[in-house]
Amino acid sequence: MKAIILSGGKGTRLRPLTYTGAKQLVPVANKPILWYGIEAIVAAGVTDIGIIISPETGEEVKTKTGNGDRFGAKITYILQDKPAGLAHAVKVAQPFLGDSPFVMYLGDNLVQSELDLFLESFRAKNLDALTLLCPVANPSAFGVAKVDEEGRVLQLVEKPKDPPSNLALVGIYLFSNVIHHAISCIQPSPRGELEITDAIQYLIDQQKKVEAYQLKGWWLDTGKKDDLLEANRIILDTCLNSAMLGEVDEKSQVIGRVQIGPRSKVVNCTIRGPVTIGSDCYLENCFVGPYSSVADQVTLIDADLEHSVILQGAKVVGIQQRIVDSVIGQRAHLKVAPQRPKALRFLIGDDCQIELA
């Protein structure tokens, strides 16, 4: 069994952050989204992983993620020269995959699911395709499946105007090697892409064994700011353990589950968890409220924030009214003049400098 993780795409819904970086490397609870997928795949016993990268962000993904040693995996990087669809990504990865069955995992998804159960079902039933599904309120925004009472997939439709069900394709699939033949037999969709839904539909039409597994836990597509913040909230709620590796002075209060990384310094602050603060940070005269993630090398002085994500190297100075529901990019500088509004919301890209006067 092998795996491929898709880490290309332009990330248009997370701009301006993704003008300068890969959307799959945006951190949730101070860890790149992509790494959660790698860890889930390795935990399920699959360690030979191909990561599909784009020309624009591929080098960043390779530099940040490495060869797989930190995950106990072997990672091979596979260039997809244009965003031509999920099935096209499988086609590009075929030399790496060979005849092996494989997991396909979209690198910007976060899923609360034990992937090994998914794999056990695929193997036990000797399936040709197994899709992971989740009920959603807006199925027209997703690929949608129609499933019979025994779990067999009857129909798949990509972003339908009239959805046959409310069951969306989560973005985790298992395939046998027959998927390669199916992809060779389909044509690009009206939007010019080779759709994986069309390839799976081909398998259904050929009476291959295609079934669905309905997700029991949560699923988050982190393609938008609010989705990213919700993912950050859930991960902090469910996975964060307290750890005090930095320096906290006697004037500061740390309440609840809080992580503070090595060499970080906290002076006269209140930090109310769940909160994670990376390494080499400096915080002074701040309130950091629940569901906030502060990455490495961040400076916060005279600043209040909650339910926000601050990326590596950012500086926020002189903002004592609450920053909420915000994502502030790497190395961004943000400061405010004395005349201040009551609340602030931001989505700020990397390397910005903003002064509110």
| DSSP secondary structure, 111-165, as one string | E-S-HHHHHHHHHHTT-SEEEEEEE-S-GGGSEEEEE-TTSBEEEEEES-SS-S-
Confidence at residue 208, expressed as pLDDT on a 0 to 100 scale: 94
**What is the DSSP code (8-state) at residue 16?**
T
Confidence at residue 143, expressed as pLDDT on a 0 to 100 scale: 82
Percent of the chain with pLDDT over 70: 89
pLDDT tens column, 101-121: 999 999 888 887 778 888 999
Which two structure tokens, joined as six digits, stand for 169?
């394709």
Confidence at residue 349, expressed as pLDDT on a 0 to 100 scale: 67
Contact 6, 89 (CB under 8 A): yes
- 11, pLDDT greater than 50: no
Nearest CA-CA partner of 301 in 318, 326, 281, 280:
318
pLDDT tens column, 122-138: 999 999 999 988 888 88
CA angle 53, 107, 46 (to 5 degrees): 95
Residue 277 to residue 288: CA distance in whole angstroms: 10
pLDDT-derived band at 156, boundaries 50, 70, 90? confident
Whether the pTM exceeds 0.85: the reply is: yes
pLDDT-derived band at 75, boundaries 50, 70, 90? very high
Confidence at residue 99, expressed as pLDDT on a 0 to 100 scale: 95
SS3 214: strand
Residues in the chain: 357
Which domains does the chain show, CATH number per domain?
2-235 (3.90.550.10), 243-356 (2.160.10.10)
Which two structure tokens, joined as six digits, stand for 26?
């945006």
Residue 161 to residue 324: CA distance in whole angstroms: 35
Confidence at residue 339, expressed as pLDDT on a 0 to 100 scale: 59
